[in-house]
A and B are shown apart, each in its own frame.
Chain A
């Protein structure tokens, strides 16, 4: 059974923003919304600059799910966190809770009211019929249903951004680390999204407390 994850190899990411563009184009994301973004730390410091592409990480213990007052989120068997835009009320709580800043809101209506939340779907669409116009309109393409992986990762020119089953990604990454000799420090964000072993055990025991 697959567990879909994203992995960004910061040793490879060259901050080209190809993933951002690919995502926007593939899903025809509304103006002002960017489901994926590239962040650089230590920008300009020689030898220490690292870039990484971030979107919704489809967390195991998803904070957005925990705080949504309307319970619009759901998770597929493959661990992809999706949401039902029809029920979203635009309260912004998921935006407060998300560590990665993934949920974004189009500003619609008076006084800068938030519209319905938009975030990365791991190219898995939404509750509507797979590949339907309604699904595309709200969530973008459903590539998983076509047997394809997310556009951002498949488009990545340096293959820094990987998407797919966590085990497969870990294998690929391990091979790379073995070849180039590294610490594994490139897997930024995996602990937050999927939990370290210890964290995961605690969460399973303690629930959401």
Chain B
């Protein structure tokens, strides 16, 4: 009963989510080759008798495979490719227009701790595994179009085999470290009143104006909730479904998981390009803060003014940022 419900739900979900289907193919043919009735019967998705008992093989013809193929080879490959290229070009343009975001005031030489050791280790575990997963994942999706024409399929198969294994083994590490990251950073990423100002001024990204914020501004919060939490959980959970095939999931589950996984991952990678840009070459002092854990007081004052004042022991009226740690440590 329950299993039947799940099968029905799955069918409804697939039909609803995926839309495209062979079901639309006309089933009319003139006699004497009219095999429409039996043909329809074996395609309706009900289990058939088979001497070889494997849950996935209890249907004669599975139409969902074609749907999956159309989604993967169609929108996911094409729109996904354009999306990534578009984000890349947008970042190049942003760099040309806005240039590197540098400190306006002279650095004071006095440092404030911004990230604890645990936070940094978690961040870099997530970051490293994310980059490995992104590279290997993109290789599997686009390698056929980009790499095979250059080096041939035999050489590419070495890369792809390595990529697949790296992807499968690093995946669970990414998921686990992302969970830790969510726990560590969730508290400082809740909505604070000042975030409204950031939204109104679009973060000052184009104007160059510095918008005050607590420990994380609204841009960082968006990346945290949409990127790390929602997309991280999405690709993480669907990834586990795909990574460990022997736990009762059948082909249709894996097709759905794969479509969600790749779509989510491409959006995740597109967003991460922005994060990686601003955290590395795009902004002075940003990389150091995650590398060493410390930022200069000037950087803190310009980019996170409320957090800076609080860290200096100033107005503590608003909720205290947890990781703000020790106030001003001179080196």
Interface residue ranges, A against B (CB under 8 Å)? 10, 15, 17, 20, 34, 37-43, 50, 52, 54, 63, 66-72, 84, 86-93, 95-101, 107, 111-114, 177, 182-192, 196, 198-199, 208-209
B72 near A67: Cβ-Cβ < 8 Å:
yes
Known: A20-B52, A43-B48, A86-B157. 20 other contacts (CB 8 A): A20-B51, A37-B50, A39-B48, A39-B49, A40-B50, A66-B69, A69-B144, A70-B144, A71-B144, A72-B157, A96-B65, A99-B65, A111-B168, A111-B243, A112-B244, A182-B32, A183-B34, A186-B38, A188-B38, A189-B42
Chain A nearest CB from B212 CB (Å) reads 48
Chain B nearest CB from A63 CB (Å) reads 5
B39 near A96: Cβ-Cβ < 8 Å:
no
B68 near A97: Cβ-Cβ < 8 Å:
yes
Contact with A along B292-328 (1 / 0, CB 8 A): 0000000000000000000000000000000000000
B258 contacts across to A, CB distance below 8 A: 96
B37 near A189: Cβ-Cβ < 8 Å:
no
Cα of A40 to Cα of B205 in the assembled complex, Å = 64
A114 near B251: Cβ-Cβ < 8 Å:
no
A43 contacts across to B, CB distance below 8 A: 48-49
A113 near B42: Cβ-Cβ < 8 Å:
no
Chain A nearest CB from B295 CB (Å) reads 41
How many B residues touch the partner, as a band?
Answer: 35 or more
Q: A39-B48, A69-B141, A208-B73 are in contact. Are A183 and B35 (CB under 8 A)?
A: yes
Q: Counting CB contacts under 8 A, is B267 at the interface?
A: no
Q: Counting CB contacts under 8 A, is B33 at the interface?
A: yes
Give the interface centre of A38, A67, A97, A100 by most chain B CB atoms within 10 Å: A97
A67 near B37: Cβ-Cβ < 8 Å:
no
Pick from B55-63, B99-107, B189-197, B213-221 the stretch touching chain A.
B55-63
Q: Counting CB contacts under 8 A, is B208 at the interface?
A: no
Q: Counting CB contacts under 8 A, is B226 at the interface?
A: no
- Which residues of B from 236 to 271 have beta carbons under 8 Å from A? 243-246, 251, 254-255, 258
Contact with A along B56-84 (1 / 0, CB 8 A): 11011111011011001110000000000
